[in-house]
Amino acid sequence: MEKIKILIDTDLGDDTDDAAALMLALSCPELEIVGITTVFKDTKKRAEMVWDLLRFYGKEDIQVSVGKQGALNQVEEENAEEPIQYELLRPGEGTIRRKAENGGEDVRDEKHGRDEKYGQDEKYGRDEKYTRDEKYGQDEKYGQDEKYIRDEKHARGEETGRENTAAGAAEFIVKMAKEHPGLVILGMGPMTNLALAFLKDVRTMKKTKIIAMGGAFLSSRPEWNIICDPEAAAVVVNHSENLTMMGLDVTRYLKVGQERLEKWKKKQIPQMDYFLRGVEIFCRATGFPVTFHDVLLVVYLLHPEVVTLKKGNFAVELSGQMTRGTMVDRSDYYEIDPEIDGNFQYAVSVDTDLFFETVDRYF
C-alpha cells in the first residue's frame, strides 16, 4: 500500500494537540512526513521543539523549515514570544540542551502563559496591531529570512547522510507540493505560511490538498487559528480549490480525560513521558483542558468516516470589533438546500469513539 505523503505546518509548543498529532503521524506506517514547517510567534524555538520530538522516533532526517515570525501583514518579530512548553528544552527537561550564542550558557527564558481560549473574542493573545498591506505580504522580505533549523551535526549531514538547503517555509511548502504529487498539507496553526506559499505560487497551491484545523462554522464566534492571522486565512480560503477544514464546532468534543492520561503515563516510554511533561506545563500555565484539536487531521487521513463533511461557501471576516476572524457563510440563506460551487468542505460532526480508538491504537 502506497503511503500518504504529508507536510505538517504547526505551531507546536503551546497547546498539547500539535505534539500529539505529530506523534500520531510518526507512529502511523500509512503516513510519510516529507517535511514540517513552524508558524506563529517564535517559530525558531518551535522548530527546536519539533527537532527534539523527532529524535525520540529516530526521524531527524525529516526536514524542518522555520516560518515567518508574525502575521502575514506584520513585520518580522525580532523578540517573539516563546512557546509555552519551551521549558521542555531546558537542562534536565528536554533531550537537547540548546546553548546561547554568547558564552555557551544554557538558554533560559521566562515561560509565558496565555489568557486566550479557543474561540474567545477578548485579547487573542496579541498586543501588536496588524499593519495592513494591499499586497497581503508580497514584499520581498516576507518569507525570505527563514532557514531550516538544524544543529551543526545535522547541517553537515553527519547524522542523516544528507544536507538540508536553507529556504523559507513558504518556498519549502511550494517545493514539496511540486515534488510530491498528491501531497496532503496538514495545517495545525495560523495560516501565515500557507498564505505566503499561495502568494509565491498560487497555481501549484490551489490544487494541493489542504486539511486544516480552524474556524467555527456553526457559530458566530472567531476561533484561535483564524483570529491570529485573518488575512492569511482569507488568502487560503479564497484561493484554495482543495480545502477541508475541521472547525472548533467538532474538535471541542475531543477532550482527553484524566483516566486516559493516567493510562498513557503507565506506558513508561520516553516519548510519552516527554509529551506528558508538556501536558503538565501547558495545564499549569493556562488551566485549559487537554483537547486534541489538531489530532483530528491525522485521524481523518486514516479514517475519513470519523467526520461528517458538508460543502460550503465561506469567507473570513476581516473587519468588525467582534466579528473579525469569523467564518461568514455566503451561501443562499433563503434556500433550504442551497447549491454550492467549489470544493470547500467543513466538518459538522465527529465520531468520538472512532477517534479515540484510533488514537489509542497508535499512541
Q: What is the pLDDT of residue 23?
A: 98
Q: Cβ distance 43 to 66 under 8 Å?
A: yes
* Rounded Cα–Cα distance for residues 26 and 19 (Å): 10
CB of 48 closer than 8 Å to CB of 98: yes
148 band by pLDDT with thresholds 50, 70 and 90: very low
| Side-chain half-sphere CA neighbours of 333 within 13 A | 4
Residue 94, Cα to own-chain centre: how many angstroms?
21
Distance CA(229)–CA(224), nearest Å, equals 9
In percent, the amount of the chain with pLDDT more than 90 equals 72
Average pLDDT in the 187-191 region? 98
pLDDT at 227: 97
Residue, of 76 and 104, whose pLDDT is higher: 76
If you average pLDDT over residues 74-78, what whole number do you get?
A: 84
Which residues are paired to 213 by β-bridges? 246
Q: What DSSP assignment string belongs to 90-107?
A: STTTSSS--B-TTTTPBP
In one letter, which amino acid is 360?
Answer: D
- 18 has a pLDDT exceeding 60: yes
Task: Please report, rounded to a whole number, the percentage of residues in the chain having pLDDT higher than 70.
Answer: 79
Cα–Cα distance, 229 to 128 (Å, whole number):
12
CA gap 321, 88 in Å, rounded = 37
Instruction: Give the whole-angstrom CA distance, residue 200 versus residue 135.
Output: 12
Q: What is the pLDDT of residue 245?
A: 98
Higher per-residue pLDDT: 17 or 158: 17
Q: What is the mean pLDDT of residues 27-46?
A: 97
pLDDT in tens, 211-260: 999 999 999 999 999 999 999 999 999 999 999 999 999 999 999 999 99
**Non-local CB neighbours of 105 within 8 Å, separated by 6+ positions:** 99
First to last CA, the chain: 22
How many CB atoms are located within 10 Å of the residue 144 CB?
14
Check residue 1 and give its pLDDT.
76
Decide: 236 and 244 in contact? Cβ < 8 Å.
no
CA–CA–CA angle 279, 280, 283 (5° rounding): 80
pTM for the whole structure: 0.82
4-362 homologous superfamily: Ribonucleoside hydrolase-like (3.90.245.10)
**Mean local confidence (pLDDT), 192-207:** 98
Q: How far lies 195's CA from each of 77, 136, 200, 344, in Å?
A: 18, 9, 9, 16
User: What is the pLDDT confidence band of residue 78, given thresholds at 50, 70 and 90?
Assistant: confident
User: How far is it, in rounded angstroms, from Cα 185 to Cα 191?
Assistant: 11
Q: Using one digit for the tens of pLDDT, what is the confidence trace for 314-330?
A: 999 999 999 999 999 99
Highest mean pLDDT pick, 45-59, 80-94, 148-162: 45-59
DSSP 8-state class, residue 13 = T
Strands 327-329, 314-316: parallel, antiparallel or unpaired by DSSP? antiparallel
Cα(237)–Cα(218) distance, integer angstroms: 17
Count the Cβ atoms, other than its own, within 10 Å of residue 312: 18
Model confidence over 98-120: pLDDT tens digits?
333 333 333 333 333 333 333 33
* b/e sequence 278-306, b meaning 16+ C-beta within 10 Å: bbebbeebbeeebbbbbbbbbbbbbeeeb
On average, the pLDDT of the chain sits at 83
